[in-house]
Amino acid sequence: MTQIRTDWTREEIADLFNLPFTELLFQAASVHRENHAPDQVQLCTLLSIKTGGCPEDCGYCSQSVKADSGVEATKLMDVQAVLQSAAQAKDHGSQRFCMGAAWRNPKDRDMPAIVEIVKGVREMGLETCMTLGMLTPKQADMLAEAGLDYYNHNIDSSPEYYERVITTRTMDERLDTLENVRNSGINVCSGGIIGMGETREDRVGFVHTLATLEQHPESVPVNALVPVKGTVLGDMLHDTPLAKIDDIEFVRTVAVARITMPMSMVRLSAGRESMSDATQALCFMAGANSIFTGDKLLTAPNAGDDSDAALFDRLGMTALQGEEPMRACKVAEPAE
């Protein structure tokens, strides 16, 4: 097993980013093989259980009230409708069911339904993950008591670049929520978004922030920006020369995350639908071992189960051990 370090310096992480690409991939693949099955990928399904109307001003998000993206605000889904979607996801091979609500933070009146959802999904034998915004220690404890396995709260970018992406919530507030989650005994899921106009130095800072937490996140989602028209960053990409993240640079970020956080599940998240099969294959080689399945991620498009099954077949890869092999099937839309 690889030694787990939480004392990485920015200089060390920058040196990893600066390695020749083939050497970086070799090191990342070696670390991956020491700690994970190299030909298996965890399948996760993501469902928006409460869409739109979020008061935050995240520059990438179509669900912000500040965005002119056409996303309409909805109420929290009915508990039984969420459980029906979870059952469909399990039937289609998912191991983890992730649920997102567009809130700055859940209100106490929302917690009973959330708790009921967590208990119901866990009873199906699925891992549970939620992202509901900021949490108080009491709310984190309630989720832990209900049996929530993972809580997602991304740091988005480096501490230096963060305030250029969002102004309604600080990086420290995000880290406070991660601490509340950790203290409650829930596993942490935290990553960020690549391709928001940040520099290599910012990507170094992003990885450094996660890799120097007292305990590494158990899951690290690495997203490529999906530019949605009507959002600040989406309009910037449409109207200025700001370029889409280079595929090689994206793979480098995945590889550095794998080396610095060897036991974490590194997940290819948003933006995968626009990646070539070759780029995804390089990401798997670099240590990515988790993906979202289905045609939709909250409000953004996803690659789709048929495409994923075909790619897995070409690469000789399977769903994470203990699951049935991935089938070419389509996740049903959430029940009305």
Question: What is the Cα–Cα distance from 255 to 250, expressed in whole angstroms?
Answer: 9
pTM of this prediction exceeds 0.95:
no
Query: Which entry of 44, 189, 203, 283 is annotated as an active-site residue?
Result: 189
Tens-digit pLDDT profile for residues 224-282: 887 667 665 666 666 555 556 789 999 999 999 999 999 999 999 887 888 889 999 99
Decide if pLDDT at 182 tops 90: yes
pLDDT band at 296 (very low <50, low <70, confident <90, very high): very low
283 annotated to a ligand binding site? no
pLDDT band at 330 (very low <50, low <70, confident <90, very high): very low
pLDDT band at 335 (very low <50, low <70, confident <90, very high): very low
Active site residue 58: yes
Percent residues over pLDDT 70 in the chain: 82
Active site residue 258: no
- Identify the sign of the CA torsion 112, 77, 106, 43: positive
Query: Which entry of 203, 258, 267, 272 is annotated as an active-site residue?
Result: 267
Q: Collapsing DSSP states into helix, strand and coil, what is residue 9?
A: coil
Q: Which of 37-46, 169-178, 311-320, 322-331 has the lowest mean pLDDT?
A: 322-331
Q: Collapsing DSSP states into helix, strand and coil, what is residue 187?
A: strand
Give the helix, strand, coil percentages of the chain, each rounded to 5.
Answer: 40, 15, 40
CA nearest neighbour of 70 among 294, 271, 297, 231:
231
Tens-digit pLDDT profile for residues 52-98: 767 776 767 777 666 565 667 678 889 999 999 999 888 888 888 98
Confidence (pLDDT) at 300: 47
- The predicted model gives 179-203 an average pLDDT of 94
Architecture of domain 10-318: Alpha-Beta Barrel (3.20)
161 within 8 A of 205, measured Cβ to Cβ? yes
Question: What is the Cα–Cα distance from 220 to 279, expressed in whole angstroms?
Answer: 18
Tens-digit pLDDT profile for residues 126-151: 999 999 999 999 999 999 999 999 99
Active site residue 252: no
58 annotated to a ligand binding site? yes
189 annotated to a ligand binding site? yes
Spans of all domains in the chain = 10-318
Active site residue 283: no
Query: Which entry of 61, 96, 174, 203 is annotated as an active-site residue?
Result: 61
329 annotated to a ligand binding site? no
CB atoms inside a 10 Å sphere around CB 311: 17
CA nearest neighbour of 43 among 98, 119, 95, 104:
95
User: Which is higher by pLDDT, 319 or 32?
Assistant: 32
User: Which is higher by pLDDT, 145 or 311?
Assistant: 145
105 within 8 A of 126, measured Cβ to Cβ? no
What Cα–Cα distance (Å) separates residue 286 from each residue in 37, 122, 128, 245, 266? Answer: 13, 31, 26, 17, 10
Active site residue 200: no
